[in-house]
Structure 1
Amino acid sequence: MLTRKQHELLMFIHQHLETTGFSPSFDEMKDGLDLRSKSGVHRLITALEERGFLRRRAHRARALEVVRLPTQKMGSDRQDKSISSLRSVDPFIESFSETRAHKIPLLGNIAAGSPKEAIGETNSYIDVPSDILHAGPHYAVKVTGDSMCDAGILDGDIAVIRLGSTFENGDIVVALVDKAEATLKKIRKRGNSIALEPCNSLYETKIFGADRVEVQGTLSGLIRSYRK
């Protein structure tokens, strides 16, 4: 049984190998997993080696090899090929070997109007097409409210979020305010202030000190169910 971070790193390396043909650097792995130091990456790699998921090729730089994935059995060539066709990665993902879909955690509701209680842990999961995912862990939240409607984000939509704290001005993010309220908004940082902007003229932009806002991920895609 792998820990969440071990699973996340293994899938990050797997995706990088599939995309580029070579393993990621320690700096890329540190940044990709939001780790504080490269020593943390080293510990995770060592643990994955000991469990038979990774192998280091001797005398070669950036030469990690994924021996198997958690959903695979050793020596299964058919599973190897089906897993390698998947584009995206997630520490929570349960991959489907013959489809291009993934399960990611659905963490309840999030406001696209007034901020609501912060998202919490859940045992609920949702199937997500892999083509709207990127490298790294993802989760999903259900949107309530209409303050992001001009960005095409409607009440009842499922927002797929790439977990992480990095962002660029203009990104749509899940922002945790004062460690208590989570909201989906467009974000802009100006000096020591952060603006959380709605995409609906009926709502006002809110300004906070940078120390009051924690970005919990950026919008990766939307899932919408047809409703009459």
Structure 2
Amino acid sequence: MLTAKQHELIRFIQDRLEETGISPSFEEMKEALDLKSKSGVHRLISALEERGFIRRLPNRARALEVLKQPEDAVGGSSAASARLRDNVVSMPPASARPRYEPANDVIEVPLHGRIAAGAPIEALEGQTSLPVPAALLGPGEHYALEVSGDSMIDAGIFDGDFALVKRTNVARDGEIVVALVNDEEATLKYLRRENGMIRLDPANPSHQPQVYQPAQVQVQGKLAGLLRRYH
């Protein structure tokens, strides 16, 4: 048996899919259900997913699909329950309705704070995400970092850009990588190996290369693309 809010949410998602072919955003669901925060939406979505009523695709924005509609009564007031039951009974069976594919043109990637394109600064772990056109990313796991500094401007990477990074711990010479230095600071640089050392090269003649022992540097990803906002 679903709660009234769970029942209301699955109806709202299905209605939006039938109208537009795109599932609603978490903000739209929060407003439609008169919830105080998106965390309430997350809990409802998780509960419906566990019960097999919906599914969501990882790392894709607004990717919800209704697998089945509830047939049982819901909690809450009798009037609300009757209204929701009437709405469900009036719908055709799930097998008779067209299936809508989730919108796959945008992917939500984790946004992990700022990274230096200059002297290394701490890479901050964030709780937000960044919508990214899927065409900018290839296969694999990705995350985003906001660029701080000007040491990579000759590579077309500017202060305030968002670096889209493919998560990996290996890279070839000459690739632009996210390098974690001494387990505490991260920087965006060209990776070079020279005379048994690791050299992190800037793309700005006013900045000097940084040279480290191999044990001091961990590759945490390779640059896959950039996003830039214009104000």
Q: TM-score, normalised by structure 1?
A: 0.59
Q: CA separation in 2, counterparts of 1:119 and 1:214?
A: 16
Give me the whole-angstrom Cα distance separating, in 1, the residues matched to 2:181 and 2:135. Answer: 30
Structure 1 156/197 Cα, relative in aligned 2: closer, same or farther at 3 Å?
A: same
CA–CA separation in structure 2 for the residues paired with 1:108 and 1:69: 24
Alpha-carbon distance in structure 2 between the residues aligned to 1:78 and 1:205: 55
Within the alignment, does 1:142 sit opposite 2:146 as a pair? yes
The one-letter code matched in structure 1 to 2:228 is R
The aligned counterpart of 2:115 is: 110
- Whether the 8 Å CA contact 2:112–2:123 is kept in 1: the answer is no
Contact 2:175 2:222 in 1 (8 A): yes
Mark the CA change 1:69 to 1:126 in structure 2 (over 3 Å): closer, same or farther. closer
Counterpart for residue 202 of structure 1: 206
Question: Which amino acid is the alignment partner of residue 181 of structure 2?
Answer: V
Aligned to 2:99: 78
Q: CA RMSD in A?
A: 2.5
Q: Does 2:168 align with 1:164?
A: yes
Letter of the 2:177 counterpart: V
Is residue 174–residue 192 contact of structure 2 (8 Å, CA) maintained in 1? yes
**Displacement of 1:178 after TM fit?**
0.5
8 Å CA contact retained: 1:119, 1:182: no
For 1:221, which of 202, 225, 228 is the aligned residue?
A: 225
Whether the aligned pair in 2 keeps the contact of 1:118 and 1:179 (CA below 8 Å) is: no
**CA 1:156–1:74 in structure 2 vs 1: closer, same or farther (change >3 Å)?**
same
- Structure 1 counterpart of 2:179: 175
1:73 deviates by: 5.1
- In structure 2, what residue type is equivalent to 1:219? L
Aligned to 2:105: 100
**Structure 1 runs of 4+ with >6 Å offset:** none
Matches of 2:124 and 2:136, distance apart in 1: 21
* Gap regions ≥5 residues in structure 1: 1-50, 52-67, 83-96
| Preserved CA contact (<8 Å) 1:170 1:186 | yes
TM-score when normalising by structure 2: 0.58
Q: Which residue of 2 aligns with 1:154?
A: 158
Equivalent residue, structure 2, for 1:133: 137
